[in-house]
């Protein structure tokens, strides 16, 4: 399995927006995944020493199988070293610097067939949004990070007024109508949404989904053309957060990953399980509508057929 494709998630956001808190949360809730996090500064992570299995130089190994590596001065080198190692991690998290352009970092997946860009998470400080958006030196940078985000997570909403949070949320929604926007509290956000679903594509139990998220799942043995599926999913933005499907169509078996509008489809070299799972916000269409939209029994609306790219 040394040549397996590794999903990569980029966590972007200005200094102080809560990237480190989120990283800490994901490392503590890896749920069996061996995550490797490339971080700017170990010290800031403040990992509980009881969780540290080993530390040498610029690398900390955690008891749960996760690893933190310091990026140092060169992300290129740090990422290449992780990918040249065996065994590969199950998932790579990159903590982008506060002024990085996450879209440029995402480019690494474009020249490495063994990397799959899972998604870019951009954290937005609800309290500081106006200041960041108007910063004379950083405003353009800020807009780039927002533009690149596949998930926009609003942090510090407990410190902001409800009206402030609402206003920031509205501004972001106007700017990026198809990108999911959600509130993140103290770095806590469901790892299944941010990092994706496990290999079988099924969640262990419905109860694990928090009350403010909705899950829909199906088991489909009939062929589902991948482009039709992509088109259908795109109509669910920005309510759909995460999807995974292991299905087949005329071209063969495939696995589809969807993360906040970023989707990828790749061939699946085993018998497809027929699993199909969606996690969305509470305002995602109801189950009947999803069934209607996504299962192959329902004929595709004519306009969507014509939009299907080939």
Partner 1 sequence: MSLIFAAKSIITMNPSQARATHMAVRDGHILAVGDASHIAQWRQAWGDMPIDESLSDKILMPGFVEGHTHMMEGLFWNYDYVGYYDREGPDGNVIAGLKSIDDVVARLSQINQQRDDKTQPLIAWGFDPIFFDGRRMNTADLDKVSTDCPVIVLHASLHILNTNSLVIEQAGVTPGDNNEAVRRDENGHPSGEFLGQLGMYMAMRTTGLDLLGAAGSAQTLINFANVARQTGVTTATDLANPVPVEAVQTMRDTVSQDSFPMRLVVAFQGGGADPQAGIARIQELQSQQTDKLRFSLVKFVADGSIQGFSARLKFPGYFNGADNGLWYIEPDRLKALISAYHAAGIQIHIHTNGDECTDVALDAIEAALRENPWPDHRHTLQHCQMANRAQFKRMAKLGVGVNLFSNHLYYWGDAHINITMGPERAARLDDAGGALAENVPVAIHSDAPVTALAPLFTAWCAVNRVSSKGVKLGGETEKLTVEQALYAITMGAAYSLHMDHEIGSLEVGKRADVAILEADPLQVEAAHLKDIAVYGTILGGKVHVNKRGAK
Helix ranges (DSSP H) in 85-237: 102-106, 129-133, 139-148, 162-175, 191-195, 226-234
Nearer CB in complex with partner 1: 43/299? 43
d(CA 31, CA 151): 21
Q: Is 222 in the site for partner 1 (CB under 8 A)?
A: no
Cis peptide before 269 (omega within 30 of 0): no
Cα angle vertex 231, ends 194, 102, to 5°? 40
Among 64, 112, 202, 263, the residue binding partner 1 under the rule CB under 8 A is 112
Of 30-38, 66-74, 154-162, 247-255, the window that binds partner 1 (rule: CB under 8 A) is 66-74
Q: Which of 10, 79, 127, 278 binds partner 1 (CB under 8 A)?
A: 79
**166 by DSSP, 3-state: which?**
helix
Interface region with partner 1, contact rule CB under 8 A, candidates 93-101, 168-176, 240-248, 280-288: 93-101
The number of residues in the chain equals 310
Burial track 19-41 (b if 16+ CB lie within 10 A, e otherwise): bbbbbbbbbbbbeebebbbbbbe
Q: Is 53 in the site for partner 1 (CB under 8 A)?
A: no
54 in contact with partner 1 (CB under 8 A): no
Nearest Cα neighbor of 292 from 236, 253, 250 is 236
Give the interface segment with partner 1, choosing from 107-115, 123-131, 229-237, 274-282 (CB under 8 A): 107-115
Q: Least distance in Å: CB of 41 to partner 1?
A: 4
Q: Does residue 74 bind partner 1 (CB under 8 A)? A: yes
Interface segment toward partner 1; rule CB under 8 A; list 39-47, 61-69, 151-159, 221-229? 39-47
* Segment near partner 1 (CB under 8 A); pick from 68-76, 125-133, 199-207, 295-303: 68-76
Query: Which residues does 63 contact at the CB level (< 8 Å), separation at least 6?
Result: 50, 51, 52, 53
**Total residues contacting partner 1 (rule CB under 8 A)?**
39
Residue 80 vs 308, nearer CB to partner 1 = 80
Residue 122: asked if its preceding bond is cis (omega within 30°), the reply is no
Q: Which is nearer to partner 1, 17 or 155 (CB)?
A: 17
Site for partner 1 in 132-171 (CB under 8 A): 137-138, 140-141, 144
82: tokens are 């992780």
The pair of structure tokens assigned to 293 is 């939209």
Tell me which residues touch partner 1 (CB under 8 A): 14-15, 40-41, 43-44, 57, 72-77, 79-81, 83-84, 97-101, 103-104, 106-114, 137-138, 140-141, 144
């Amino acid at each position: 399995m040394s040549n397996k494709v590794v999903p990569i998630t980029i966590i972007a956001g200005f200094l102080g927006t809560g990237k480190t808190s989120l990283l800490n949360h994901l490392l503590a809730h890896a749920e069996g995944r061996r995550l490797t996090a490339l971080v700017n500064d170990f010290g800031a992570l403040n990992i509980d020493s009881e969780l540290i299995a080993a530390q040498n130089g610029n690398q900390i190994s955690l008891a749960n199988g996760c690893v933190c590596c310091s990026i140092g001065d060169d992300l290129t080198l740090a990422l290449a070293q992780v990918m040249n190692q065996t065994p590969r991690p199950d998932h790579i998290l990159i903590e982008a610097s506060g002024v990085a352009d996450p879209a440029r970092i995402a480019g690494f997946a474009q020249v490495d067939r063994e990397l799959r860009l899972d998604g870019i998470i951009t954290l937005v400080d609800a309290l500081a949004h106006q200041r960041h958006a108007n910063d004379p030196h950083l405003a353009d940078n800020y807009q780039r990070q927002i533009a690149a985000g596949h998930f926009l997570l609003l942090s510090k909403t407990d410190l902001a007024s409800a009206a402030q949070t609402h206003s920031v949320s509205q501004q972001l929604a106007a700017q990026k109508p198809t990108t999911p926007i959600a509130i993140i509290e103290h770095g806590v956000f469901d790892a299944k949404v941010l990092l994706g679903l496990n290999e079988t594509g099924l969640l262990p139990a419905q109860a694990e989904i928090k009350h403010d998220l909705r899950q829909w799942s199906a088991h489909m043995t009939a062929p589902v053309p991948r482009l039709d599926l992509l088109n259908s999913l795109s109509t669910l933005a920005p309510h759909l957060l995460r999807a995974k499907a292991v299905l087949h169509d005329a071209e063969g078996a495939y696995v589809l990953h969807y993360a906040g509008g970023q989707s990828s489809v790749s061939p699946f070299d085993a018998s497809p399980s027929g699993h199909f799972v969606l996690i969305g916000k509470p305002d995602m269409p109801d189950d009947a509508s999803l069934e209607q939209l996504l299962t192959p029994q329902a004929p595709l609306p004519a306009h969507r057929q014509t939009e299907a790219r080939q």
